[in-house]
A and B are shown apart, each in its own frame.
Chain A
Amino acid sequence: MLEVNNIEVVYNDVKAVLRGISFRVPEGEMVCLLGTNGAGKTTTLKAISAILKSQKGSITKGTIHFSGKRIDNMFAAEIVSLGLIQVPEGRRVFIDLTVYENLRAGAFVVKDRKKLQANYEMVKKYFPILGERQTQIAGYLSGGEQQMLAIGRALMANPEYIMLDEPSLGLAPMLVNLIFEIIEKINEREGTSFLIVEQNASIALSSTSYGYIMENGKIVLDGECKKLSENEDVREFYLGIKDDSTLQSFAEVKHYKRRKRWLS
Chain B
Amino acid sequence: MEQSAWQSFFQLFISGLAAGSIYALIAVGFAIIYKATSVLNFAQGDLLVLGGYLCFSLMAYLNIPYIFAFLIAIGLLALMGIMIQRSILNRMIGEPIFTVVMITIGLSSVLQGLFGLFWGHEEQKIMTSAADRIIALGGVTLTMAHLIVMGVIAVLFSGFFLFFKHSRMGIAMRCTALDQDTALLMGISVKNVFSLSWAIACVVACVGGVFFGQINYMIPAMGAVGLRAFPAIVLGGLDSIGGAIIGGLTIGVLENLISGYLDVWLGGAGLKEIVPYILLLIVLLIRPYGLFGTKEIIRV
- Interfacial residues, chain A to chain B (CB-CB below 8 A): 49-51, 53-54, 56, 75-77, 79-81, 85-86, 88, 92, 94-97, 101, 104-106, 108-109, 111, 137, 139-140, 142, 153, 157
Closest Cβ of chain A to B290, distance in Å, is 15
In the complex, B90 has a CB within 8 A of chain A: no
In the bound complex, how far is the Cα of B179 from the Cα of A88, in angstroms? 12
Closest Cβ of chain B to A194, distance in Å, is 16
What 1/0 flags go to B148-174 for Cβ under 8 Å of A? 000000000000000000001001101
In the bound complex, how far is the Cα of B94 from the Cα of A86, in angstroms? 22
- Interfacial residues, chain B to chain A (CB-CB below 8 A): 93-94, 168, 171-172, 174-175, 178-189, 294, 297, 299
| A76-B297 CB under 8 A given contacts A54-B94, A101-B174 | no
Determine if A94 and B185 form an interchain contact, defined as CB atoms under 8 angstroms apart.
Answer: no
18 new A-B contacts at CB < 8 Å, known A53-B94, A77-B187: A51-B181, A51-B185, A54-B94, A54-B180, A54-B184, A76-B184, A79-B187, A80-B185, A85-B187, A96-B178, A96-B294, A104-B168, A108-B168, A108-B186, A137-B297, A142-B299, A153-B186, A157-B187
Chain A residue at smallest Cβ distance from B172: A108
Query: Mostly helix, strand, loop or mixed at chain A's interface?
Result: mixed
Contacts of A51 in B (CB 8 A): 181, 184-185
Determine if B297 and A108 form an interchain contact, defined as CB atoms under 8 angstroms apart.
Answer: no
| A81-B297 CB under 8 A given contacts A54-B94, A97-B174, A101-B171 | no
Closest Cβ of chain A to B161, distance in Å, is 14
Determine if B94 and A56 form an interchain contact, defined as CB atoms under 8 angstroms apart.
Answer: yes
Closest Cβ of chain A to B88, distance in Å, is 19
Q: Shortest 6 CB-CB distances between A and B: which pairs?
A: A80-B187, A139-B297, A76-B184, A109-B187, A92-B182, A77-B189
Closest Cβ of chain A to B193, distance in Å, is 10
Closest Cβ of chain B to A37, distance in Å, is 20
Closest Cβ of chain B to A242, distance in Å, is 38
In the bound complex, how far is the Cα of B167 from the Cα of A81, in angstroms? 19
In the bound complex, how far is the Cα of B180 from the Cα of A28, in angstroms? 30
Contacts of A142 in B (CB 8 A): 299
Chain B residue at smallest Cβ distance from A82: B187
Determine if B168 and A49 form an interchain contact, defined as CB atoms under 8 angstroms apart.
Answer: no
Contacts of A137 in B (CB 8 A): 297
Chain A residue at smallest Cβ distance from B165: A101
In the bound complex, how far is the Cα of B177 from the Cα of A105, in angstroms? 12
Closest Cβ of chain A to B297, distance in Å, is 3
Determine if B185 and A97 form an interchain contact, defined as CB atoms under 8 angstroms apart.
Answer: no
Closest Cβ of chain A to B195, distance in Å, is 14
Chain B residue at smallest Cβ distance from A142: B299
Contacts of B294 in A (CB 8 A): 96
Determine if B297 and A95 form an interchain contact, defined as CB atoms under 8 angstroms apart.
Answer: yes
Determine if B187 and A94 form an interchain contact, defined as CB atoms under 8 angstroms apart.
Answer: no
Contacts of A92 in B (CB 8 A): 179, 181-182
In the bound complex, how far is the Cα of B188 from the Cα of A49, in angstroms? 12
Determine if B168 and A88 form an interchain contact, defined as CB atoms under 8 angstroms apart.
Answer: no
In the bound complex, how far is the Cα of B260 from the Cα of A164, in angstroms? 63
Contacts of B188 in A (CB 8 A): 77, 105, 108
Determine if B174 and A96 form an interchain contact, defined as CB atoms under 8 angstroms apart.
Answer: yes
Chain A residue at smallest Cβ distance from B189: A77
In the bound complex, how far is the Cα of B188 from the Cα of A79, in angstroms? 11
Contacts of A140 in B (CB 8 A): 297, 299
Chain A residue at smallest Cβ distance from B297: A139
